[in-house]
């Protein structure tokens, strides 16, 4: 199973858990976007779709921040829940951002899609995320049909959060992979 890492705005720096996972997990690969500073939704969705279609294996998406919105937009445009038999088998969405906020730096990602995901999904959020209120993240998780986890006060769950390789996140990923192997849905 291939793990596609989907960073958010400005990409994930060297101290970010996604970057650490990329170097430590043998099946992890970052999906590279052409413009990390001024993201355009349609281009990002097409880049993700191209990467998924080019992959010879099943895929699990591991998204952070704007990567969560990217995942939701990809699902909205490329999945049909009633007969979904695609390569993407699950998603771990960490710190979804408040794309609906006024002056959000990536306006083409608003509004956040409110579609049910056709594969097992886990959403992880923080009590004090400056980019999204915990209630908003929990609401999206419910709409998407995802398992939801509030991990407490860890900011935007990024490199500045001091999580290092983020063992708790690896545990969420492991649990998701086990559910996928057992054929369990959300």
Q: How much is the pLDDT for 80?
A: 67
Q: Count how many Cα atoms sit within 13 Å of the Cα of residue 4 in the half-sphere of its side chain.
A: 29
Q: Where are the alpha helices (DSSP H) in the chain?
A: 17-24, 41-54, 66-78, 134-144, 167-181
Quickly count: other Cβ atoms within 10 Å of residue 155's Cβ. 17
Q: How much is the pLDDT for 89?
A: 96
Q: How much is the pLDDT for 65?
A: 97
Residue 184, pLDDT above cutoff 80:
no
């Amino acid at each position: 199973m291939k793990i596609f890492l989907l960073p958010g705005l400005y990409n994930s720096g060297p101290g970010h858990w996604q970057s650490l996972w990329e170097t430590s997990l043998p099946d992890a690969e970052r999906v590279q976007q052409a413009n990390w500073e001024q993201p355009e939704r349609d281009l990002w969705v097409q880049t993700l779709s191209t990467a998924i279609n080019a992959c010879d294996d099943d895929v699990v998406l591991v998204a952070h921040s704007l990567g969560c919105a990217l995942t939701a937009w990809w699902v909205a445009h490329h999945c049909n829940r009633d007969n979904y038999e695609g390569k993407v088998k699950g998603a771990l969405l960490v710190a979804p951002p408040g794309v609906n906020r006024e002056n959000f730096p990536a306006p083409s990602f608003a509004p956040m899609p409110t579609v049910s995901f056709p594969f097992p999904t886990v959403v992880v959020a923080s009590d004090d995320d400056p980019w999204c209120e915990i209630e908003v993240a929990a609401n999206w998780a419910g709409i998407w049909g995802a398992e939801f986890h509030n991990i407490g006060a860890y900011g935007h769950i990024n490199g500045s959060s001091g999580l290092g390789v983020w063992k708790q996140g690896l545990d969420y990923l492991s649990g998701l992979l086990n559910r996928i192997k057992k054929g369990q849905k959300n």
